[in-house]
Structure formats: C-alpha cells, structure tokens
Structure 1
C-alpha cells in the first residue's frame, strides 16, 4: 500500500496575490511523491507567510504537525527545507515527531535530507541555521534601507495612507483630507472618536481593512493624529529627527498645519488622562445637565415607559430617579425640553457673536523663545562634533536644554489646543435648530455647556398638562 504523505508549500511574499509560487512548488512536490510511489493526500499551503518572524503563526504548518503526530499522514514532501523551517525551534518540533514515529517519510525536491537518521538531522540543523542567518542578514539590510529612506524623508512602500491618493501617495486626496479635517474639528469640539468611527464605518471612509466588519478605534485615532499629516517622517512609530534636532520632513504634501495637528493630539491625550475608564457616550442632550427643581439632583434621560408607537409623546423623558439619589418626584417629556433649550442657547450665542465680532487667531507668544532654544541645542551638538567642547560638557548642558524644549513644546500644544477648541465650540450662532439636532450628541452637549451650567426642571403638578416653558429654568454661565 502506498504511503500517504502531505505536501507542504510556502512562500514569504506574494505581492500579486495569485499564489503562483506555491503552485509551482506543489507541482514539483507531486512529481517527487509520484517518483517515490507515495500518495499525496493533503496539501498544506502557507501563502504569503513568513517562517522567520517569531510573531507569525503558520496555520497550515501547525495543522501538518498535528496530522503527523496523529498518524493521519505518513510523511512530508516539501520543495526545500527552508520552506518548512527558518527557525531552529520549528525544525526541532518536526524532528521530535520523527523521533516518536521512526517510520515517517521525508523528502525535499532540492536536496536529499532524511530526518529519520542522525546524520540527516544534523545536516538539517546546519541548513536551517544557515537559512536563519540568511534571513537575519536580509532583515538587517532591509531595516538599514528603511532607516536611510526615512532619513531622506522618503516614504516606504505599501498602500497610500488615508488622506493621500492611491496612485500617488505624495499627493493629497482632497475628499479624504476634508473628512479628516472635519473629524479633527469634531474631536476638538468634544465628539468621541467612537462616534466618528461609527459614521466613517457607515460611509466607507478611512480605508478599512478588507474583511473587517468593524473599524478599530485605534485605526481612526491614528488617522487623526498621524505625524504624516504635517509631513513629519516617522521610523518605528516615532518621529525621526535629523542632526539639527528638527523633525525630518517627508516629501509628500501636508494636510494640517503643525498648530492644528498639535491641538488635536493634545486634545486626545488630555481626554485619555482625564476620562480614563469613563464612558463619554450620551444618548440624551441634557443627561447630567438637567437638575431636579425639588432636590437639585442631576436628572438623566431614560426611555419613557408610557410611550406607545404612533402616539405624539416623545420616546424619552428626563426623570429624577431615587436610584441616583434623587427624590423621584420630577419628570418631563424630553423632546420639548431639548427643543426649548436648543432655541435659547442658539439665540444667546448668536447675540454674543454679533456683539463681540469674529475672534482673531493669535500666535503662541513664546515661539521665538522655542526657536532660539532649538538653535542652542543644535549649536551644542555641532560644537561637540567640532571638538570645541567635550562629550562630558555636552552631556552636562544638553539635558536641561532638552527638558526646557519639551516643556515649551507642551505649552505650545496646549495653547493651540485651547484656541482650536474655542473655535470649534464657539461658532454655533449661525446654526438652525434642525442643523443643531443633526450634529453628534457630544457636539450638541458642548454647545449647550458653552452657554449653560445647568437646566433646572420644576415640578408640573398632578395630571396631564401642556408643556410649560416657564417650568424649565436655564442657568446661564
């Protein structure tokens, strides 16, 4: 009876995605199995999968090992030993199975290595060790090439990041750039990244990965804070700096100014620190803003249990709850309260904007101080290179300068964050009521909180009554 063998094929990169390389390996392996009078019963194919990277799991390779150990196949045919293993530990796992089952068959197209003998195993270990070194050398050369490209401000290969044209990754995609800027403005106005992610998912924005059902939160956050937006070149996730201490600038077109980008990054970082572990999601406009007119406890929105489909009543109400420490005696249908507050707030902001005029964008007043400090750092480094000062002197002077530089950069980021946030939050005067309610709920709440500190809802008494705006008392800032 013919021995049943599995054929293992693998190729590290398949840029075209046509699997031609593994197909050629399969043909040659089937021909070899036929010459040995073995019967191929299973093809294990790892296409576009590395055998060198430690964090990569080869699913078909793992399945092949399980089938070998379970006795479902009697041997393995591969094109070459380095198709099977480039890490010694993977080879040792295979050898262990051949130790357990001495009659297993093994063959490769390119050489004659027998894992069933001591000499064959020794030869296999030497060959895998050399293959591993070859992969290390290739990896080192690739890393050095990528660093050189980064230092020159050139982009690596791969698909264009969201915001740039697919056929020219150095040119900005106007439509994508518009969506990025709009989302950044929303972040500055208090909108959650989760809200932006949901909308982008529905609209097919952000270049979601193929086959994913839900766009990742960190993917959207990276798009909005990517240093590439201001032409900063990164290497291994960090902004790359040149010998002059300045960020290396890429050869592509920018989408943001440095001030805009720093403001968004600072806003997101601040939100992570101050809101860590807290949910920013809100379903109702005045949840936590409204207060009970009797006990002054915060009132939250909730589903109106008395609402029936087809009725004119709103689906939610603001109810003082004993569960949250309130008296439980005050409740009001939510929709008319929200509309009243929206009208009052928009009117107030419209009048305030007309009285104060358009704010003038200011520059950070310590910009020259930071520029001078950066120049001092460069001069110190150049002086050490020219042997004008010793390394010891440089290392004594440099840390204080770098600490002062980092503090000034943080101050600049905060300055522009507050400025951009004020712009995003304070320009609601021209909105209509319909436009207001079309905004994300976080943006609506920011507009309300820009004018109000609270909304007091007074009791209406027993029985059904028409909505009385006099019982809704806004507390203005």
Structure 2
C-alpha cells in the first residue's frame, strides 16, 4: 500500500492495512451521517462480527453530524457498492483462525456438519503447527469421521478455487457492455422532487401526518431502489474502467481476515467427501458451492 511505503499512519500512529482502511471508508461519518458500531454473531462463521449502522431520526431520515464531510452521500453509497457493506469479522475470542473454518462441511451421507480444526499429534510426525479439518463426533452434531482432510492442502485448494472464480468473474465483467449513462437518472430526480414536495406540504399542514408518512415510505423505497440500481451501474463502470485487482498476485500479502472475506464472498460452502484410496489430491474430494451474484454474505 502506498500509504505504508510513504510512512503515513493512522490518527493513533498505527500502520495502515487494507482492512483498517475499508473499516474507515465504511463508516457513514465520512459522508456526514451519524453512525454507531453494531456487534453481533455471524451465523455463517460462528464468529463475532462488527458493522457500521446509520443513525436515523424518528421521521426515518439519517441524522447528520456537525462536522465537515469528506464525501457526498451519493459518492459514499457508490463506494460501498464497490468495496461492499459486508460485515467485518471481529477480533474477539470467537474469531476464526483458519482459512476454511465455517466453509468446509462434511459430505458423508449428507451429514452437512461444519468441520472443526484438529492439531496433528506428535506421533503423526508432521511439521510444527500441522492441522486437519475434520467432522465432529455425533455428540457435537457431526457424523464422527471419515472426511478428515489435511488442513494446509485444503486451504491451498480453496485458495485456488477462490482465485479462479474471481478471475473468471473479472473477465466476464470486463467483457460486459456497460451503458455510458445510467437510464434511471431522470426517475431518481423526480422521486427526490416528490420527496421534497411532500415534506413542504406536511410543513404547511396540507398533508395529514398519516398521508405524509405513507408517501415518505413510498418515495424513500423508490429512491433506495433507484440508488441501488445506479450504484450497481457505477460498480460495473468501475470494474470495466478501473485497474482490476490481481488476486493471484496479492493473495500472499493479504491478512487472514481479508482472505476469509474473499472466501466467504465466493463460497457458501465446500463439501468434503470421504477419502477413497491413497495418494489422491485433496481437491478431488472437494465440491465447491459458489455464492450466486447478489447473494448476501
């Protein structure tokens, strides 16, 4: 990162990382909105997660802060469409410490249990820190075994799956024809004008409170739908015209949290079949289930 090479540090004097930068960019404060951090359990990984949330007033509008904004609201939403609003893995005691935990699942007799990590015993004569992914026993919700797999090899196989899928989608985005202009601009402008007119009518007591809030819900729903459509268009334009990420070249420089984010954005699960015979590559036992485009993590 250019900031690190140039000696630029955070306000607390810490070195910048991609994860820290994205966390700052995802905070609505940079476009003038008040925000709060929400911590919750991630049902996909079992770990603690954190996300930024806009603070809304009683009338449903975002609360603006008393500071100078860095980005316009539209620019911030477009940025979120590019980097994603995905939940950031937390750093509590439940944070995942291995690439494939929460992703690998047992495929024996359609068990479906999430694999856990087992450290290799000394008697196995494996390198220091060697580990396995294995289905838990029946008392812990698994089927008791048969799909244990070498951890480092599984991680490498998943890495290659994610990179290959990312490169395939990047090539498809580059080949996709993207309109020069967004066709919904006029409709969005009209909806925002309708919103302002409704607010003025309410202030002048032309509209009842009930009618005003009904219109507010209708117009804001349309506005947000159109904003999402526009942001998707911006994202497509950015992907085609901007410098693409070379995930294969960058992977080794990513933190574990960042690597896991790519895994979770790409895969809903990877099924592990029982071992058949000896000496077969690990990837032959894996069945990836890719996340469909637009599916939330």
Give the number of the structure with larger relative contact order, counting CA–CA contacts within 8 Å between residues 6 or more apart. 2
Q: Establish whether TM, by shorter chain, passes 0.5.
A: yes
Quick check: 1:327 aligned with 2:144?
A: yes
For residue 380 of structure 1, give the secondary structure of its aligned residue in structure 2. helix
1:318 to 112, 130, 133: 133
Q: TM-score, normalised by structure 1?
A: 0.39
Within 5 A, what are the aligned runs for 1:372-391?
A: 372-380=193-201, 384=204, 391=205
The answer on whether the counterparts of 1:233 and 1:248 sit within 8 Å (CA) in structure 2 is yes
Q: How far has the Cα of 1:339 moved from its partner?
A: 0.7
1:145 corresponds in structure 2 to none
Q: Give yes or no for contact 1:349–1:428 (8 Å, CA) kept in 2.
A: no
Partner of 1:399: 213
1:471 matches 2:284 = yes
CA deviations 1:71-106 (Å, max 9, x no partner) are xxxxxxxxxxxxxxxxxxxxxxxxxxxxxxxxxxxx
Using the TM superposition, give the Cα deviation of residue 469 of structure 1 relative to its aligned residue in structure 2, in angstroms. Answer: 3.3
Query: What is the deviation of 1:318?
Result: 0.7
Match of 1:260 in 2: 76
Task: With the length of structure 2 as denominator, give the TM-score of the two structures.
Answer: 0.57
SS in structure 1 at match of 2:117: strand
Residue 33 of structure 2 contacts residue 55 of structure 2 at CA under 8 Å; is this kept in 1? Answer: no
2:164 is aligned to 347
Aligned-CA RMSD value = 5.2
Structure 2 gap segments, 5+ residues each: 5-9, 17-21, 36-53, 291-297
1:366-387 deviations in whole A, cap 9, x for unaligned? 41232221232255257x3xxx
Instruction: Please state how far the C-alpha of 1:224 moved relative to its aligned partner.
Output: 4.0
C-alpha distance in structure 2 between counterparts of 1:324 and 1:441, whole Å: 27
- 1:244-273 CA-to-partner distances (Å, cap 9, x unmatched) read x999797845235425348759x76x969x
2:62 and 2:260 mapped to 1: Cα distance? 40
- The residue that corresponds to 1:49 in the other structure is none
Conserved in 2, the CA contact under 8 Å of 1:232 and 1:250?
A: no
Pick the structure with greater CA Rg: 1
Shift in Å, 1:306? 1.4
Number of equivalenced pairs? 244
Say if 2:116 and 2:136, in contact at 8 Å, map to a contact too.
no
The answer to whether the 8 A contact 2:108-2:274 is kept is: yes
CA–CA separation in structure 2 for the residues paired with 1:224 and 1:351: 27
CA apart distance, 1:449: 4.7
